[in-house]
Structure 1
Amino acid sequence: MGADFLRKMEWLGRDRVVAYLRIIAFLNVAFLVLLVATSNGGVDANGFLLGSDFVSFWTVGHMLQVHGNVYDGAAHIAAQREFFASSGGYTAFFYPPTFLPFCWPLGYLSYFPALTCWLLTSGALYIFAVRRWQSALRFDFPLRLPVLAFPAVPIVITHGQTSFVLAALLGLAALLVPGRPILAGVLFGLATIKPQFGVLIPLVLLLTREWKVIASAAVTAIALALLAALAFGAEAFAGWYAASERAQAAMVDGTVGFGKMMSVFAGARLIGFPTGLAYAAQAAVSLVIITFLIRAAWARTYSPALGALMLAAAPLVTPFVLDYDMVLLAFPLLWLTSRGLAHGFRDWEKLAIALAFIAPVFARPIGLQIGVPIMPPILIFLFWVLFRRFHMVVRRDGPAAVQP
């Protein structure tokens, strides 16, 4: 019984899942309401501005309106502190110039209306993408409950982060490749606003010979870069390059906080590895993940099943990933759960789903307070379970499984 308790988890049936999700959803909503209710002038009880990271994007929007250099660190700090000076430092801006067109409209609004519009718009895009996966997978479960309960969702909201946008773009693109390749490519191209999550996309598309998607993504990425250069100056790219060096230094030095990050590199640094060995650990895990992904895609046509595997792999092959980025896991979790409900869950699948679903709420506190990185091993575990299920689906349903 002891082994089966976690391996099979037969005790975790639909009724119990619904009950747990209702409890977690209630706690998430209550937390957000309490956070706003106990804030004073938009500053929470801990001294953080509501939507803490969003102030960086909003500041960039205002700087663009007056043709300021958003990649000048000192200028960005000064502009940000004109509105809000945090005792805990400031929120840097390391996004590429292709993200500037998304920030520019924010300069027309004051902070809290801009934050509200940002969260409503990006959240709606994310929900739309999740609904498309739900429909394609014929996933018979009330969507609002798992979305409200997913701990990564309130983390994005409280930070005012870009993760809803990125997850929506990558999630929709990964689903639409077989049926609407041009649109999928456009979405992949737009997702270059956070390029570290797109490392595996060209590999999978090349192996599956999705030439229309590749061409569309390339044209979109180039067009977005040209738009940024024309609108904000070609020198913005040189500024971003310099800012990227500062971002690299901040990551290596732990300025961001290794406990806040969810990567293999950060986990290795958190437990005491020197920088060189931490990079070696990241490279080794990335190489293994890439090898398995190549094996999954080799001599096969693209399917959303492969897309789910690709999205689950994305956080494992970049050294810079945080807890709010875990909203991207919604799509592989939906795919794996739908396969389990339709054909029965295999050993360890329920455990992998449960851990990946709930871990974002604990990963940062455990990392910061105890110094234990829990997210990297959970992500590896989830990828392994997905890879195993992927091969089962391909053998049973053929390479075009789970077409929308």
Structure 2
Amino acid sequence: MAHIWQGLKSGEWLTATRARSYSLMLLGFCVIATLAWIALSDSLLDRNGKPLGTDFSNVYAAGKLTWQGRAADAYEPALQHAAEKAVFGGREVPFFGWHYPPFFFAIAFAVAAFSYAWGLAIWIASSFAAYLLVNRTILPRPETLLVTAAFPATFVNIGHGQNGFLTAALLGGALHLLDRRPWLAGVLIGCLAYKPQFGVLIPIALLAGTRWRTIGTATGTVAALIALSLLTLGGDVWHAFADSLKFTQGVVLEQGDTGWEKIQSIFSALRMWGATVHTAYAVQIALGLALAASIAWLWQSDAAFELKAAALATGSLLATPYVLDYDLVVLAVAIVYFTRHGLKSGFGSFEISLLGAAWAVPLLSRGVAGVTGIPLALLVLLALHSFIVRRALLGDATSAVTPDAIAQV
């Protein structure tokens, strides 16, 4: 037992060879499983009667409605569901709601210009490429592409046809460009407004860091996106979006129709355990305030930028009550930034093992929560954020572990 504890503390168990082997094995298994799942499908419906790319069907259907001049209908569940069924020749398919701000119709409009299969393939391939490029740019090592490609959250995201790759690419790209091209970083942050729940802590970080140019361009980008959507789609679509928020909050989030095990927030964990909505919100708000304080302190401090970036990524995932397991793709941004800092300054006790746990947790989070009620991803996110802040507080005093093996990961 002492040997195991020491191995976890030092991280010596995670050698470069093992990291590559684990990545290759998981990547190979998931590629084969994905191809088999596609091969066993029937006219774009899988063996469970769900569309290939499941959630992508709501994007594609919303795009078709936009082509028909009926974008606002996407916010009406009955009409959106009818549009989704029409995509598959009128066959019965599960309902996947459209909850995005109107400027995300641009993506839906673009993919709906193709057949469903080609639209899905283009969406996944292009966003995945952006995700890989950003992470490889942040941590320019040959191993980065393999480890980030095999990151289990990528397969969850691909299976759902979701936008985790885009979210991670926008956040990671903005952080990478913040000092180099602050105005371009602002544009990327502005585009990230398509997932407004992930933007709670970003303004706090930018204000604490006095990043005025980025704040200005981010604000201008959001204003431009809103104006463009009003110009192209009209004002009714924004009224429909506002009216749909009650449904999204009440049915999707508070009642847990999505599935508590899929949502990785402290709000969802408490609701899964039987807490009232008010109690769950109170704890979520308390956590959000603590996260905001940690981000404000960190971003106005002289801590390494890698720690600021990693903390913002983990904090953004923790601060929202509505974060699903495919959103954990954003966790890759925190992992690569924290790894980059460790490679330069050394790793503290348990940091390497915690990074390994963070990499693996999207593979297990939904299943473990569904069977045991333990929110594994939430616990790992809390631990990783705490370790990042602790590292900033103590500086290089924690940098006691510098094994050569992990230096290649």
Structure 1 unaligned runs (5+)? 397-404
Distance in 1 (CA, whole Å) between partners of 2:38 and 2:395 is 45
* Residue equivalent to 2:137: 132
Q: Distance in 2 between matches of 1:340 and 1:107?
A: 43
Matches of 1:276 and 1:104, distance apart in 2? 38
Q: Counterparts of 2:96 and 2:304 in 1: how far apart (Å)? A: 39
SS in 2 for 1:143: helix
Which residue does 1:97 correspond to in 2? 102
Letter in 1 for 2:179: P
* Correspondence for 2:119: 114
Equivalent pair of 2:306/2:341 in contact (CA under 8 Å): no
Q: Is the 8 A contact 1:262 1:321 kept in 2?
A: yes
Measured after TM superposition, the shift of residue 365 of structure 1 is 1.5
Distance apart, 1:205 and its partner CA? 0.6
Seen in structure 2, the aligned counterparts of structure 1 residues 87 and 108 have a Cα distance that, compared at 3 Å, is: closer
Q: Is contact 2:208-2:297 (8 Å) kept?
A: no
> What is residue 154 of structure 1 aligned with on the other side?
155
Residue deviations 1:264-298, cap 9 Å, x none?
10011112222121112211221221221122123
| CA displacement 1:236-269 (0-9 Å, x = unmatched) | 1111111111000121011111111011100111
Matched residue, 1:173: 174
The equivalent residue for 1:401 is none
Comparing 235-244 and 289-298, the one that deviates more: 289-298
- What letter matches 1:46 in structure 2? N
CA 1:294–1:54: 2 relative to 1, 3 Å: same
Higher mean alpha-carbon deviation, 256-265 vs 13-22, is at 13-22
Q: Within 5 Å, which residues of 2 pair with 1:50-69?
A: 50-68=52-70, 69=72
Aligned mates of 2:66, 2:92 — CA distance in 1: 26
1:34-65 deviation digits (Å, cap 9, x = unpaired): 22222222222222211010000000111011
Equivalent AA in structure 1 for residue 319 of structure 2: V
Calculate the aligned-residue CA RMSD, in Å: 2.1
1:225-304 aligned at under 5 Å gives the runs 225-250=226-251, 251-300=253-302, 303-304=305-306
The alignment partner of 1:108 has SS state of coil
Does residue 80 of structure 2 align to residue 79 of structure 1? no
Q: Which moved more, 1:23-32 or 1:253-262?
A: 23-32
SS of structure 1 residue aligned to 2:139: helix
Structure 2 counterpart of 1:214: 215
Q: Note the alpha carbon deviations across 1:311-335, whole angstroms, 9 max, x for none.
A: 1110100000001111111111012
Residue 14 of structure 2 contacts residue 353 of structure 2 at CA under 8 Å; is this kept in 1? no
Query: The residue matched to 1:347 in structure 2 has which SS?
Result: coil
Q: For residues 192-207 of structure 1, what are the structure 2 equivalents within 5 Å?
A: 192-207=193-208
Contact 1:63-1:107 within 8 A present in 2 as well: no
Task: Give how far 1:394 is off.
Answer: 8.1
Which residue of 2 is the match for residue 34 of structure 1? Answer: 36
Residue 8 of structure 1 deviates from its aligned partner by 2.4
CA 1:355–1:316: 2 relative to 1, 3 Å: same
Contact 2:307–2:388 under 8 Å retained in 1? no
Paired with 1:313 and 1:323, the residues of 2 have a C-alpha distance of: 15
CA drift of 1:175 comes to: 1.3
TM-aligned CA distance change 1:239 to 1:374, over 3 Å? same
Aligned AA (2:107): F
The DSSP-based 3-state class of the residue aligned with 1:359 is: helix
Distance in 1, Cα, partners of 2:387 & 2:121: 38
| Offset at residue 3 of structure 1 (A) | 2.8
The question of whether the paired residues in 2 share the 8 Å contact of 1:9 and 1:350 is answered with yes
In the other structure, the counterpart of 1:390 is: 392
Aligned-partner Cα distance in 2 for 1:58–1:32? 21
Point out the more displaced range, 295-304 or 185-194: 295-304
Residue 308 of structure 1 is matched in structure 2 by 310
More moved, 295-304 vs 30-39: 295-304
Distance 1:53 1:33 in 2: 18
Secondary structure, counterpart of 2:112 in structure 1: helix
Q: Distance in 2 between matches of 1:210 and 1:110?
A: 43
Structure 2 counterpart of 1:354: 356
Change (3 A) 1:295 1:379: same
- CA drift of 1:356 comes to 1.2
Distance 1:392 1:262 in 2: 29
Measure how far apart 1:351 and its partner are. 2.2
Structure 1: distance between partners of 2:179 and 2:397: 19
